Chains A and B, each alone.
Chain A
């Protein structure tokens, strides 16, 4: 047997093995492979496989595949894509229990994307039930959404619904947290901005950032002193041309900063209250 013939036989054997393997790859095997990759957290490969299965699928297990694709997007922080795929999973499933689960998932995608109004629209589709756990979950989602929309009265109502009647102290604690509106609305960003417009730096001090407030006062005050000095030794026109642009730059920057600081401080307070509520619920 000459070497060329041997080579041909070898190539033919390799080709046959590969073609057999390709033939053997069924949709079910691809799905199993995708599931395995999902479990191993190889999400990129798993997504590719699920999409391949979806492409060649004859309409079986569509809800499962869509939910897996959505989960991959969800885990990786692509909430819009995840919501879109949960929506498709919702539409393709016939199981009522799964439909409810997909609604919750879609709502959570919107909530994590800070689209609370969209999440509320989804949650409105949830059916009524007497199941306590289900109702608690539903109330929790509604409460978090209303919190995000700054509708604290509605949020309070839903948070209180989660606490059972045999825990009146916890109910009281939550009601007390909501009663302290100061924690949720202050420092007021508008007030901080107006204060800094009237007296540069005062808005920052009102928001609790004394260092920034003093910095703003000294900086803008320095430009005022410069303008007065130049008016005295030169002309008002010179002073205006020299100091006014700088003054305006830091004056405007100052009151915008005051607003930002107030928003930041207020959000810290809100987050603290929110965490406290979650802690009470978790108990």
Chain B
């Protein structure tokens, strides 16, 4: 019977071979693809806070001191604290960014204002940040 097929259809063997090769390579590719797909499934991401970047662009000594105090607070105190701030960015980051943008006097006043608003009493005033429960309130 096999002989009849080969005589009748001389290209059938070649076709069969090509199909077999193509299918097997397809399956192999899928397995490799799966390995690649799941290789980073349990990847752990490091969250390194680079607060030292705030030292840059300090226009005067007062700003430099306030930045130093901020970095000390973030590294020594805030790193040991739970997530209590209701805002994103947190009140300390908001204050330092306000100081950088608006100057030491207005920035500090804005920071104090932010601290006084750091509660969940008026959720209607702020949108939520991404998928978290934090209120989004950046420095304007």
Assess whether A212 is in contact with B79, with CB atoms less than 8 Å apart: yes
Assess whether B41 is in contact with A112, with CB atoms less than 8 Å apart: yes
Q: How far is the CB of B47 from chain A (nearest CB, A)?
A: 9
Interface residues as binary, B91-134 with A (CB distance below 8 Å gives 1, 0 otherwise):
00000000000000000000000000000000000000000000
Per DSSP, chain A at the interface is helix
A163 to B42, CA, bound (A): 22
Task: Please give, as numbers and ranges, the residues of chain A lying within 8 Å of B84 by CB-CB distance.
Answer: 249
Q: How far is the CB of A275 from chain B (nearest CB, A)?
A: 7
A275 to B84, CA, bound (A): 36
Task: Please give, as numbers and ranges, the residues of chain B lying within 8 Å of A133 by CB-CB distance.
Answer: 24, 27-28, 31
Interface residues as binary, A260-283 with B (CB distance below 8 Å gives 1, 0 otherwise):
000010011011001100100110
Task: Please give, as numbers and ranges, the residues of chain A lying within 8 Å of B24 by CB-CB distance.
Answer: 133
Is B76 positioned at the interface, with any CB of A under 8 Å from its CB?
yes
The interface stretch among A49-57, A82-90, A134-142 is A134-142
The tally of residues in B whose CB lies under 8 Å from a CB in A reads: 21
Task: Please give, as numbers and ranges, the residues of chain A lying within 8 Å of B27 by CB-CB distance.
Answer: 133-134, 137
Closest chain A residue to B28, Cβ basis: A133
A275 to B79, CA, bound (A): 31
Assess whether B28 is in contact with A219, with CB atoms less than 8 Å apart: no
Q: How far is the CB of B29 from chain A (nearest CB, A)?
A: 10
Assess whether A268 is in contact with B44, with CB atoms less than 8 Å apart: yes
Task: Please give, as numbers and ranges, the residues of chain A lying within 8 Å of B80 by CB-CB distance.
Answer: 212, 215-216, 219, 250, 253-254, 257
The interface stretch among B32-40, B48-56, B59-67 is B32-40
Is A252 positioned at the interface, with any CB of B under 8 Å from its CB?
yes
Q: From the candidates A108, A216, A256, A282, name the one contacting B82 in the complex (CB within 8 A).
A: A256
Closest chain B residue to A74, Cβ basis: B37
Is A111 positioned at the interface, with any CB of B under 8 Å from its CB?
yes
Assess whether B42 is in contact with A253, with CB atoms less than 8 Å apart: no
Q: If the complex has contacts A112-B41, A267-B42, are A253 and B31 also in contact, measured as CB distance less than 8 A?
A: no
Q: If the complex has contacts A219-B77, A257-B80, are A140 and B31 also in contact, measured as CB distance less than 8 A?
A: yes
Assess whether B30 is in contact with A137, with CB atoms less than 8 Å apart: yes
Is A160 positioned at the interface, with any CB of B under 8 Å from its CB?
no
Task: Please give, as numbers and ranges, the residues of chain A lying within 8 Å of B37 by CB-CB distance.
Answer: 108, 112
Closest chain B residue to A116, Cβ basis: B41
Q: From the candidates B31, B38, B82, name the one contacting A252 in the complex (CB within 8 A).
A: B82
Is A147 positioned at the interface, with any CB of B under 8 Å from its CB?
yes
Interface residues on A, range: 20 to 34
Q: If the complex has contacts A111-B41, A147-B42, are A253 and B81 also in contact, measured as CB distance less than 8 A?
A: yes
A155 to B91, CA, bound (A): 45
Q: From the candidates B31, B44, B76, name the one contacting A271 in the complex (CB within 8 A).
A: B44
A257 to B83, CA, bound (A): 10
A271 to B27, CA, bound (A): 27
Is B11 positioned at the interface, with any CB of A under 8 Å from its CB?
no
Is B22 positioned at the interface, with any CB of A under 8 Å from its CB?
no
A216 to B75, CA, bound (A): 11
Assess whether B34 is in contact with A275, with CB atoms less than 8 Å apart: no
Task: Please give, as numbers and ranges, the residues of chain B lying within 8 Å of A253 by CB-CB distance.
Answer: 80-82
Chain A contacts with B in 82-119, Cβ cutoff 8 A: 104, 108, 111-112
In addition to A111-B38, A144-B38, A250-B81, 15 A-B residue pairs with Cβ atoms within 8 Å of each other are A104-B34, A108-B34, A111-B41, A112-B38, A133-B31, A140-B34, A140-B38, A141-B34, A144-B41, A216-B80, A219-B77, A254-B80, A264-B44, A275-B39, A278-B39
**25 A–B contacts from the bound complex (CB under 8 Å):** A108-B34, A108-B37, A108-B38, A133-B24, A133-B31, A136-B31, A137-B31, A137-B34, A144-B38, A148-B41, A148-B42, A215-B76, A215-B80, A219-B76, A249-B81, A249-B82, A253-B82, A254-B80, A267-B42, A267-B44, A268-B44, A271-B44, A275-B39, A278-B35, A278-B39
